[in-house]
Structure 1
Amino acid sequence: MPNEPVTKIRLRRFAKADMEAVLGLVAQIASGEDLTESAGQQFANELANPQFEGGRFVATVDGRVIGTMGCAAGPIPSKYVLWADWLIVDSQYRRYGVASLLYDEIEKYALANEKTWLCLDIGNIDKERAAYRFHLRNGFQIVGQLPDYWGELEHLNIMAKSLISKE
């Protein structure tokens, strides 16, 4: 755990050598199922696919991976949209602005690739209240919900953010 403010946070593209550390972050997610297997498969597929339309980034301090986030075209690709996924910050480094730095990087990536929207599935708003409020503060809004998508009372809540000012 850091005993002074974290000022040496570095962001870079996810690499194969980061897999173990990133899966360690995934393991910190409180879930009734083991998410590391599906995350590992997704991340390995991204690394292996030279045509992968998306990016995954890691935040590091002194070479140690402390956060990750990615984005991709999603299941129904659009030339205007990227879907953000797997925003995870090591529990010891939360409240240091790591998540905001990762989002800024994803937004820059999306804009550089001429995307105008960033979307995500926030999951269960009641269980993920802090994540929900974080996304609202960062310009996202709920644009849709699929009730009971993940299970009884486990709704898929779609949030979106326009990356282009409408003014």
Structure 2
Amino acid sequence: MGELGYPTTTEEMEHRFSKINSNSMYNTLVAEESGVIVGMIGMILGFLYEKNDNYVRVVALVVDSNSRKQGIGEKLIEKAEEWAKEHGANGIVLNSGNRSERKDAHQFYLKRGFQGKSTGFVKTLT
């Protein structure tokens, strides 16, 4: 998560993942090279209110900065598309921050057929 700009301790990630892993609507895939994790994609199956369709939301996609531009992210997206189809989803959605350091990520998504179609809003609850 640190590679995405979200510093996280091992304990925090273990806590988060225990909740995620116990929910069958989530799927987490990792990419390994020589036994070392170099990338991951986390997604959740969702259902639309306005149509009779399923979709998959990519919640996290990260490739280690030393392993980028080697096709790892593309392979993870391909696996996400396969999982989505297996679960009857007809689309994949994701959010990517509007920070300058995300510019390359935005180009990555556009090259893989994603379209910028919405604006996200966030409200922090206290």
Report whether the alignment pairs 1:103 with 2:116. no
Q: Which of the two has greater helix per residue?
A: 2
Equivalence for 1:94: 68
TM-score by length of 2: 0.80
Contact 2:29–2:42 (CA under 8 A) maintained in structure 1? yes
Give the count of matched residue pairs: 119
Which residue pairs with 1:72 in the alignment? 44
- One-letter amino acid of the structure 2 residue matched with residue 89 of structure 1: V
Distance 1:100 1:115 in 2: 19
Please state whether the residue corresponding to 2:16 is helix, strand or coil: helix
Letter in 1 for 2:40: T
More strand by share: 1
Q: 1:112 to 1:103 in 2, by over 3 A?
A: same
Task: Report the counterpart of residue 30 of structure 1 in structure 2.
Answer: 5
Superposed CA offset, 1:1-52 (max 9, x none): xxxxxxxxxxxxxxxxxxxxxxxxx123335xx3557654432212223xx2
Q: CA deviation at 1:150?
A: 7.0
The one-letter code of the counterpart of 2:37 is V
- AA in 2 matched with 1:103: I
Gaps of 5+ in 1: 1-25, 152-167
Shift of 1:117: 0.7
- Identity of aligned pairs, percent? 24
1:130/1:59 CA distance change after superposition, 3 Å: same
Q: Secondary structure at the match of 2:76?
A: helix
Q: Alignment partner of 1:118: what SS? A: strand
Give, in whole Å, the separation in 1 of the partners of 2:15 and 2:96: 21
In structure 2, runs of 5+ residues without a counterpart are none
Q: Which string of whole-angstrom CA distances, capped at 9 and with x for unpartnered residues, describes residues 64-103 of structure 1? A: 11110011035xx434211012111111111110000000
Instruction: Give me the whole-angstrom Cα distance separating, in 2, the residues matched to 1:150 and 1:94.
Output: 32
SS at match of 1:102: helix
